């Protein structure tokens, strides 16, 4: 297989000057009829993904078989391009035969599945060629009805946020009620400062959610919204205290305890997992084949999904509240460059509680939120070097003392300073931003 097989992707959308990309997500309250329509659209996207993946694999295997018979390259079966236009062209030629029911759903459902396949193939090829950063990406697998997330994306057609602030209109689905108000987005749309580009509907945590991707005009923030006398702060991240913010002179301005929602929900999660293990699920271990799960297993699995969704929602809420407080009150924020992924690697079994606490704190998501919120509020976010010893340096005299993780107080042997470990690190980080 040659690189030309991947084809040429369409040009990505570029954000106009003076605007930014922003997403608004709302929980939907669909009727039973709309739920069936949403499930049908998600199933259509999954079918288009699997069907075109099967076709791509068949063309690849056919070309490999022809090469084994020493057939010249110019006489081989034509290669199938992996770009969205190339895959969509083939789908339009095959849908009448292989999916005669395709008119029951919006064409955007099939387009979203084909687009997902195109992106997956592109990511796999770039990862194989070494031009993609991060972990290795494998060849795409078929999407399962029970294990794959249900999602569909709309880019054309009637995508509208109604003026009553509690309904969203989507193609072939009609007006869908939302649990929460859409007033913030409606305000931008009515004033002409925002435009909806696409809508993604997905089933997550036992409910349907709609994410509206928009471009919003950048507006200057009033000067009165960010004045508390501390323009520069350093932020130390941790698993006991989610974050500790301090000024260069040693004043602590914010301390947020780690919510630890997973730790609080472990008892219920363990109960639900044990209960599920005693019931007949989708896999028969005796015959080693798939089977129809019992109704009690299905109900228990739904409860388990909601329990995990509650943990995720609590974590997101606390992270958003902490990062919004920081970015709305300070001009310069300095954080440390933590290797969060490395904290999970090469750990012994005795440290599994530490690994769980690191994942429960979601330190990587906190940095991501600070990054885009700092840009939105027009403030400066500085990242300290990963090897900067913020915890080991004395904020009083500058001496270095190495502390084990279990010690929560910093005691300097030179000047005798006794200070909270996290506060000491935050002060040292703040001085980096003050010096710059």
As beta bridge partners, residue 255 has 244
Please write the tens of the pLDDT for every residue from 146-162: 889 999 999 999 999 99
* Structure confidence at residue 83 (pLDDT): 93
Rounded mean pLDDT of 213-232?
74
CA distance 418 to 133: 43
pLDDT at residue 225, as a whole number: 53
Does residue 350 surpass a pLDDT of 80?
no
**Residue 128, helix vs strand vs coil:** helix
128-132, 147-151, 225-229, 339-343: lowest mean pLDDT where?
Answer: 225-229
Query: Helices marked H in 15-106 — which ranges?
Result: 32-68, 84-98
Q: What is the pLDDT of residues 391-428, one digit of tens each?
A: 888 888 888 888 887 888 888 888 888 888 999 999 99
Rounded CA separation 357/362 (Å) = 9
Tell me, what's the pLDDT at 351? 57
Question: Where do runs of H (alpha helix) occur along 130-196?
Answer: 183-191
| Cα–Cα distance for residue pair 142/145, rounded to 1 Å | 10
Q: Which of 217, 256, 434, 284 is nearest to 361 (CA)?
A: 256
Judged against a pLDDT cut of 50, whether residue 270 lies above it is answered with: yes
CB of 161 closer than 8 Å to CB of 176: no
pLDDT tier, 221 (very low <50, low <70, confident <90, very high otherwise): low
pLDDT value at position 417? Answer: 85
Q: pLDDT at position 406, please? A: 81
Angle 40-41-45 from CA coordinates, rounded to 5°: 115
11 pLDDT more than 70: no
The reported pLDDT for the residue numbered 2 is: 41
The per-residue pLDDT for 5 is: 46
Alpha-carbon gap, residue 185 to 263, rounded angstroms: 35
Look at residue 9 and tell me whether its pLDDT is greater than 80: no
Q: Is the pLDDT of residue 145 over 60?
A: yes
Q: Catalytic residue positions? A: 236, 336, 422
Q: What is the pLDDT, as a whole number, of residue 116?
A: 96
Question: Among 406, 398, 294, which Cα is nearest to 351's?
Answer: 406
Asked if the model's pLDDT at residue 344 lies above 80, the reply is no
Q: Please tell me the predicted confidence (pLDDT) of residue 338.
A: 85
pLDDT digits over 175-202, tens only? 999 999 999 999 999 999 999 999 999 9
CA distance 414 to 396: 10
Residue 11 phi, psi (nearest 5): -65, 140
Per-residue pLDDT band for 296 (boundaries 50, 70, 90) equals very high
The pLDDT assigned to 12 comes to 66
Q: Per residue in 80-132, pLDDT tens? A: 999 999 999 999 999 999 999 999 999 999 999 999 999 999 999 999 998 98
pLDDT > 90? residue 32? yes
The pLDDT tens digits of the residues spanning 249-267 come to 888 899 999 999 999 999 9
User: pLDDT band for position 47 (50/70/90)?
Assistant: very high
User: What would the DSSP string read from start to end of 272-321?
Assistant: HHHHHHTS--SEETTTTEE-PPPHHHHHHHHHHHHHHHHHHHHHHHHHHH
The mean pLDDT value of the chain amounts to: 88
The overall longest dimension of the chain from CA atoms, in Å, is 82
| Percentage of the chain exceeding pLDDT 90 | 61
Q: Could you report the per-residue pLDDT of 297-330, keeping only the tens digit for each?
A: 999 999 999 999 999 999 999 999 999 999 988 9
Listed residue (201, 211, 150, 197) closest to 26, CA to CA: 211
């Amino acid at each position: 297989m040659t690189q030309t097989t991947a084809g040429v992707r369409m040009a990505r959308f570029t954000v106009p000057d003076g605007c930014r990309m922003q997403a608004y997500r709302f929980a939907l309250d669909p009727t039973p009829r709309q739920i069936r329509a949403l499930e049908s659209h998600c199933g259509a996207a999954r079918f288009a993904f699997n069907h075109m993946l099967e076709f791509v694999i068949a063309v690849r295997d056919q070309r490999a078989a022809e090469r084994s018979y020493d057939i010249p390259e110019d006489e081989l079966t034509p290669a199938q391009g992996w770009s969205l236009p190339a895959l969509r062209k083939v789908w339009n030629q095959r849908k009448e035969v292989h999916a005669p029911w395709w008119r029951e759903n919006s064409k955007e459902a099939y387009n979203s599945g084909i687009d997902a396949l195109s992106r997956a193939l592109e990511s796999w090829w770039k990862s194989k060629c070494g031009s993609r950063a991060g972990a290795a990406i494998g060849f795409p697998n078929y999407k399962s009805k029970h294990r794959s997330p249900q999602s569909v994306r709309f880019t054309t057609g009637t995508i509208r946020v109604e003026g009553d602030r509690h309904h969203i209109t989507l193609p072939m689905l009609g007006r869908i009620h939302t649990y929460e108000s859409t007033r913030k987005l409606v305000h931008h749309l009515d004033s002409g400062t925002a435009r909806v580009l696409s809508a993604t509907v997905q089933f997550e945590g036992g409910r349907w959610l709609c994410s509206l991707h928009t471009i919003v005009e950048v507006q200057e923030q009033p000067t009165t919204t960010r004045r508390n006398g501390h323009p520069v702060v350093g932020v130390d991240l941790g698993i006991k205290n989610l974050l500790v913010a301090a000024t260069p002179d040693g004043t602590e301005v914010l301390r947020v305890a780690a919510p630890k929602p997973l730790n609080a929900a472990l008892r219920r999660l363990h109960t639900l997992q044990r209960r599920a293990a005693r019931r007949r699920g989708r896999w028969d271990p005796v015959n080693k084949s798939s089977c129809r799960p019992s109704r009690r297993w299905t109900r228990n699995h739904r409860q388990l999904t909601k329990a995990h969704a509650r943990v995720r929602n609590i974590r997101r809420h606390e992270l958003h509240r902490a990062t919004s407080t920081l970015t709305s009150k300070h001009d310069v924020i300095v954080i440390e460059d933590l290797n969060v992924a490395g904290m999970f690697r090469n750990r012994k079994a005795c440290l599994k509680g530490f690994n769980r606490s690191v994942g429960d704190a979601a330190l990587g998501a906190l940095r991501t939120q600070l990054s885009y919120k700092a840009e939105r509020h027009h403030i400066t976010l500085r990242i300290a070097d990963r090897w900067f010893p913020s915890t080991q340096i004395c904020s009083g005299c500058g001496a270095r003392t190495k502390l084990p993780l279990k010690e929560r107080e910093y005691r300097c042997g030179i000047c005798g300073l006794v200070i909270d470990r996290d506060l000491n690190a935050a002060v040292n980080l703040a001085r980096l931003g003050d010096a710059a």
